[in-house]
Structure 1
Amino acid sequence: MESQYSKKKSFIVNAVYALLIVLIVYVSLKYLFNLVSPFLFAFIFAFLLQKPSRRISAFTKIPTKWVSLVLVFVFYSTIGVLIALLGVKLIATVTALISQLPILYENQLEPFLLNSFHGIEDALDALSPTFIDKFNADFDQFVNSLGANVTEMSLSLIGMISNIASSLPGFFIKILIMIISTFFIAMDYNILVRFTLRQFSPKGREIILSIKKYIVNTLFVVIRSYAIIMSITFIELSIGLSLIQMNNAIIIALTIALFDILPVLGTGGIMIPWVLINLLQRDYQTAVSLLVLYLFITVIRNIIEPKIVGSQLGLHPVVTLFCIFLGANLFGVIGVFGFPIALSLLKHLNDAGTINVFK
């Protein structure tokens, strides 16, 4: 009896302990990450630039500190120029699309709605006056509710834009802090790393270095895995759009494949609106072809993603799919990549005997 009571007590203690760990990790990722993210990304960028800095320093005989400063400057300058060029291109594309909306409404949507209403009126002429009065009343109610919904959506959109505008100063401050921190960390990278490691016991330092080595290798594996997935999506899109006889099929396929990396939007963020536009233009054949192509790509993606990512990380496809789903719902893009990597790291440490979590 005492043994059974001890087992129950031990189970409750372990369950509470595991729950507290999960809660701490969740709160840390959800709130603490937002506070330390500028310094975390600064450290990551400084780490990535260390190896080329040391090589250039050994070749030119210039101190590593000054080489690191130059590389950080070149790194952020290149990123800034690329973002500026992409921003200008995106603004030009969106502007051109918005300018085409009135033409699309006048030539496609308005005639479609008018023809639909005329067809409804012709069908109602044969019905009783009572039914017509009821239909008119319901239609007026629909129009009023539609107007209220449009107004509510407009207010929500204005609120969302206001929130984005109000968060921009804080975002730019974080970017500025990250850039400045990168310069300082890159200059004294070895000093900072040695100081941090000295705060841990020899066993703790061994674990930290093992985690760092595994995460670096795992990130490369994840990038390679998603590069394979994007390549497969690109090939599928290229073949499908070419069979549909779409102009610039290769360029469109490349754009959608790059967009496919986003977990929320993905391929559907481009192809579903594309299908709807073709339906409004009464190009039903193209719309159906694009829809079939989208469904095919989505099914193939859901089959190969857990298999490819899981096999690269040493995880079962079901476990990988669960991690991707859970991470996307909790933390968005970061969770999609972070959860499989975190579980893979736990498995690696468990297999190495560093920790004992799984049996």
Structure 2
Amino acid sequence: MESQYTKKKSFIINAVYVLLIALIVYVALKYVFNLISPFLFAFGIAYLLKGPAKCISSLLKIPTKWVSVILVVLFYSTIGVLISLVGVKLISTATTIISELPTIYESQLEPFLINSFHGIENAVSGLAPTFINMFNEGFDQFVNTLGVNVTNLSLSLVGAISNIASSLPAFFIKILIMIISTFFIAMDYDILSKFMLRQFSPKGRKIILSIKQYMVNTLFVVIRSYALIMSITFMELFIGLSIIGIKNAILIALTVALFDILPVLGTGGIMIPWTLINFFQGNFETGIGLLILYIFITVIRNIIEPKIVGSQLGLHPVVTLFCLFLGANLFGVIGLFGFPITLSLLKHLNDAGTIRIFK
């Protein structure tokens, strides 16, 4: 009897322990990460530039600090120019498309709906006049409501872009803090890293160094895995678009493959609107081709992603799929990458005997 009670008590304690850890991780990712993210990214960038800085310093006999400063300037200058060019083009294109939604509705979607209605009306012309009148009134109301909704959607999207623009000052402050922090961390990376390690016990330092080494290797593995997935998606798109007869198939395939990595947009963020526009314009063959291509890519992506990412991280495909789904829904892009990596790290530490979480 006592043994049964002890087992139940142990189970409850372990369950509460796991829930507390999960709660701490959730709060840390949801709130704390947002506060310290500029410094974390700065530390990561400084770590990436540490190796090249030491190599150049030894070759040119220049102090490592000054080489680090030059590399940080070059890094942020290159990234800044690329983001500025791409960002301005994307924002201007998105704003133009959104502002033209009502015009697209009036010139293409509404005539398509009216022609479809006339076809249905001719098909049911032999029915009772009362039914036909009700059908006419319902259709008119549907078209008017749809037109109002399209206009409201356009205004809402423009408002969303305005809200994003209004939040840019806070975003730029974070970027500025990250850039300044990168300079200071890159100049004294060894001093700062050794200071932080000294705050832990020998066992704690061993765990931290093990986590660091594993995370660096795992990030490389994840990047390589998603690069492979994007390459497969690009080839599928290029071949499919070429068969359909779309011009500039290579450029379009590359753009859609890049969007495919984002959990919110994905392939459907481009392919579904593109398919609908072709249907509204009467290009049924192209629309059906795009729809079939989108379904094919989505099915293949859902099959290969858990397999490729899971095999690289040492996780079962079902576990990987669960982590991808849960992470994307809870934390977006960060969760999409972070959840599988975190679980892989915990499995690695558990297998190595560093910690004991599961059997």
TM surpasses 0.5: yes
Is the deviation greater in 213-222 or in 279-288? 279-288
CA deviation map 1:306-336 (0-9, x unaligned) = 1111111111111111111110111111111
Partner of 1:87: 87
Mapped partners of 1:144, 1:105: distance in 2: 11
Partner of 2:255: 255
Mapped partners of 1:99, 1:137: distance in 2: 29
Partner of 2:295: 295
Q: How does 1:62-141 map to 2 (within 5 A)?
A: 62-91=62-91, 93-94=93-94, 97=97, 108-119=108-119, 122=122, 126-135=126-135, 138-139=138-139
CA-atom RMSD in angstroms = 2.4
Residue 25 (structure 2) pairs with residue 28 (structure 1): no
Task: Give ranges in structure 1 of 5+ residues lacking alignment.
Answer: none
- Percent of counterpart pairs with the same letter? 77
Q: CA deviation at 1:170?
A: 1.0
Q: How does 1:1-359 map to 2 (within 5 A)?
A: 1-91=1-91, 93-94=93-94, 97=97, 108-119=108-119, 122=122, 126-135=126-135, 138-139=138-139, 142=142, 146=146, 149=149, 153=153, 156-157=156-157, 160-359=160-359
Q: CA deviation at 1:4?
A: 0.9
Amino acid at match of 2:170: G
Mapped partners of 2:296, 2:155: distance in 1: 38
Q: CA deviation at 1:241?
A: 1.3
SS of the residue aligned with 2:167? Answer: helix
Amino acid at match of 1:306: P
Q: CA deviation at 1:152?
A: 6.0
Mapped partners of 2:141, 2:101: distance in 1: 28
Amino acid at match of 2:339: F
SS of the residue aligned with 1:290? Answer: helix
Mapped partners of 1:239, 1:147: distance in 2: 37
Is the deviation greater in 218-227 or in 105-114? 105-114
Structure 2 vs 1, CA of residues 158 and 289 (structure 1 numbering), >3 Å: closer, same or farther?
closer
Amino acid at match of 2:291: L
Structure 2 vs 1, CA of residues 139 and 109 (structure 1 numbering), >3 Å: closer, same or farther?
closer
Aligned residues: 359
SS of the residue aligned with 1:49? Answer: helix
Mapped partners of 1:346, 1:286: distance in 2: 47
Contact 2:102–2:147 (Cα < 8 Å) also in 1:
no
Q: CA deviation at 1:289?
A: 1.0
CA deviation map 1:132-186 (0-9, x unaligned) = 4544554565467557756764675465345323322111111111111111111
CA deviation map 1:19-71 (0-9, x unaligned) = 11101110110011110011111111111110000001111111111111111
Mapped partners of 2:16, 2:151: distance in 1: 48
Task: Give ranges in structure 2 of 5+ residues lacking alignment.
Answer: none
What's the TM-score, normalizing by structure 1? 0.92
CA deviation map 1:200-251 (0-9, x unaligned) = 0011001100100000000000000011111111111111111112211112
Structure 2 vs 1, CA of residues 278 and 72 (structure 1 numbering), >3 Å: closer, same or farther?
same
Amino acid at match of 2:249: A
Mapped partners of 1:98, 1:340: distance in 2: 36
Mapped partners of 1:50, 1:352: distance in 2: 29
SS of the residue aligned with 2:356? Answer: coil
Contact 2:310–2:320 (Cα < 8 Å) also in 1:
yes
What's the TM-score, normalizing by structure 2? 0.92
Is the deviation greater in 216-225 or in 8-17? 8-17
CA deviation map 1:94-116 (0-9, x unaligned) = 46656876875565334323323
Q: CA deviation at 1:120?
A: 5.2
Mapped partners of 1:267, 1:40: distance in 2: 30
